[in-house]
Structure 1
């Protein structure tokens, strides 16, 4: 029988049935892709260890124990003060012995910024395909390039299974500074609190607001000053630069020009983006740029896709939080209410919140 059906008929563990069912419902035509998703997730689950046991073991690496202790403090704060789920997620640890947990593959047509989407019964449609092995992601990208598509492969250091499993802290996360480590825990638990299948901008903007506000409250509770570095400002400025370039490309692709003219205009736009980046770096960043590697490597439509998804509706969720006077349960209830609206009504409600002062 087809391998994907055998997963459903003879699953190795009842707790994995939701994931296996999701994969089986997605069809057998891409069984190889779903097989690697299954094996990658199962490997991650099998490598988990309770953090409490690691912290109590003096033979374990003291640096690892220090990082895990910090993560547990942030984890406790997330549930006690931010109203986020109180479960075993991020109270376990897994060392995957690699720098990324998976690699996401983004793809677009040559003259469009519309992503190729991957749809799942639980998560809905997303603008990428995930691979647990970098070579698999690169191989899939090469096949799409042969079809004339733009592709981009990006490493991912953390993700959420939306509460289907007890997500562990990963070795890929522990090299971050204290603030980012806490922030990502808040972000991923926000996805467990509420997730709207098929609306990436809504989900990521909401989780990004919870991350930012949660981190502000975390700093205040621990008596920490606002970071003196300008990394957040640089990230915002760079994102704005890329989004402006993407908007110009969208106008270009809608212009009705010939393929040769579109190809030339696309190349010109990417050179403009590089030039504007260098000007920004020299003018405001004292010549030191965090994004040199990204800007100097090949640019295409797919590489621009991740920008904007995490920030588009953040001001709207900030306004919503102020409307409920910082009450987290009331905020989550309002978020859920927005998520239950039809797509067009939800977008209009977010625009209205965004426009309010």
Structure 2
């Protein structure tokens, strides 16, 4: 293992070598980990400091404009959102492909519970990523032959959770400006807080931070046109999410209905997905034009696709309520999220969804502590005052550095 100096803007690649060593412990897993290492090394080789890209006469003016925008977003994340940068997004890598990785999702034909894969660094997650689209599709076909519903989705960016310095990638630099900001805020949130084996918790938290970050960034730095466009996009996103939620609730009732046999459940499943598609077509007619979802809804709906989409969203309302209870203060919100991240898995999501009940159960203990220590009665568990929920100190490589 060796590390090049961070001051020179290089990565520590011990993480990559560690992943390869872990893969070597399982012969059948070695090809998968080898492609992961090769893909990460390929990104590192393509990286160039943004400062050099900006002064390079060969760099297209559109790329320069977007990179300057990224630097503006990056500064806002650090100073206004309390997101630690840890060297992320100071380099640029042109990958010459539409996505950095392709994720494979799978679910049983009569369940919305996604199949999980376990890895040395990320823990267990509900997807398996490939740096090659062909390899991802090959693996998805193998799962389909075993009876799974499968979905392969392209990913424009991902976070290495503080083990490497994540660069700006060409795979998302051409997106709308607000989408670029959303991606950066989302991935920086992962770098700040990541709970192993909790895909829905992690993705919903990061998406909450990203949405709040974009709104605050636009309020501070955006134009009226950008703010209006973002409001329209979020309204459309909310409408699509409502369709997805309704379909998921319908499917859960079907799959858990003991009076239906497997064949009946499969027929009811097909009817539910037809209704979802029809609902989306109705939205398209109401929107009159481009909306950003056409390619997504051209895919064949199944449990894997719906589960993948909902894994990013199902806890977002709970996180938004938690942020509101903390008075909109992101540092306090992060502290509370860390607290929830320490709860045992069976309790975590349930308690997050019922935070008011949890606070009420903790309040007598707080009052007793106040009586013993003499703390003023104005101190609360939530809101803009202290004390807060206990902070968890995370053991992360960048902290050691």
Using the size of structure 1 for normalisation, the TM-score is: 0.89
Deviation at 1:289, TM superposition (A): 5.4
Q: Deviations over 1:245-292 (max 9, x none)?
A: 12222222222433322222222222222222223333x324765434
Deviation at 1:215, TM superposition (A): 1.2
Q: Measure the CA separation in 2 of the matches of 1:126 and 1:191.
A: 14
Deviation at 1:35, TM superposition (A): 1.1
Q: Measure the CA separation in 2 of the matches of 1:350 and 1:199.
A: 13
Q: Measure the CA separation in 1 of the matches of 2:255 and 2:21.
A: 37
Q: Measure the CA separation in 2 of the matches of 1:323 and 1:268.
A: 40
Q: Deviations over 1:7-65 (max 9, x none)?
A: xxxx5868322233245335413111111111111111111110011112234221111
Instruction: Show the 5 A alignment for 1:188-227.
Output: 188-222=187-221, 224-225=223-224, 226-227=227-228
Give the corresponding residue for 1:278: 281
Q: Measure the CA separation in 2 of the matches of 1:209 and 1:177.
A: 19
The unaligned stretches of length 5 or more in structure 2 are 5-11, 360-401
Q: Measure the CA separation in 2 of the matches of 1:354 and 1:274.
A: 37
Distance change >3 Å, CA 323–CA 354, structure 1 → 2: closer
Say if 1:315 and 1:354, in contact at 8 Å, map to a contact too: no
Say if 1:96 and 1:170, in contact at 8 Å, map to a contact too: yes
Q: Deviations over 1:77-124 (max 9, x none)?
A: 111111111322101100010000010111112222221111123212
2:335 is the alignment partner of 1:333? yes
Larger of the two Rg values belongs to structure:
2
Bigger Cα displacement from structure 2, 162-171 vs 339-348: 339-348
Distance change >3 Å, CA 80–CA 249, structure 1 → 2: same
Residue 320 of structure 1, aligned match among 319, 322, 329: 322
Say if 1:274 and 1:296, in contact at 8 Å, map to a contact too: no
Bigger Cα displacement from structure 2, 161-170 vs 174-183: 174-183
Q: Deviations over 1:173-216 (max 9, x none)?
A: 11111111112111111111111111111111111121111112
- State the secondary structure of the residue aligned to 2:118: strand
Using the size of structure 2 for normalisation, the TM-score is: 0.80
Q: Deviations over 1:307-342 (max 9, x none)?
A: 222222223323333333333332222221111122
Q: Measure the CA separation in 2 of the matches of 1:178 and 1:24.
A: 39
Q: Measure the CA separation in 1 of the matches of 2:290 and 2:181.
A: 26
Residue 352 of structure 2, aligned match among 330, 350, 353: 350
Q: Measure the CA separation in 2 of the matches of 1:247 and 1:44.
A: 40
Residue 238 of structure 1, aligned match among 237, 240, 254: 240
Bigger Cα displacement from structure 2, 203-212 vs 269-278: 269-278
Distance change >3 Å, CA 270–CA 320, structure 1 → 2: closer
Residue 263 of structure 2, aligned match among 241, 260, 268: 260
Q: Measure the CA separation in 1 of the matches of 2:264 and 2:151.
A: 23
Say if 2:3 and 2:14, in contact at 8 Å, map to a contact too: yes
Bigger Cα displacement from structure 2, 342-351 vs 94-103: 342-351
Instruction: Show the 5 A alignment for 1:282-301.
Output: 282=285, 284-286=286-288, 290-301=292-303
Q: Measure the CA separation in 1 of the matches of 2:170 and 2:44.
A: 14
Bigger Cα displacement from structure 2, 14-23 vs 197-206: 14-23
- State the secondary structure of the residue aligned to 1:104: strand
2:17 is the alignment partner of 1:20? yes
Q: Measure the CA separation in 2 of the matches of 1:143 and 1:345.
A: 34
2:70 is the alignment partner of 1:71? yes
- State the secondary structure of the residue aligned to 2:154: strand
Greater RCO (Cα-Cα under 8 Å, separation 6 or more)? 1
The unaligned stretches of length 5 or more in structure 1 are 1-10
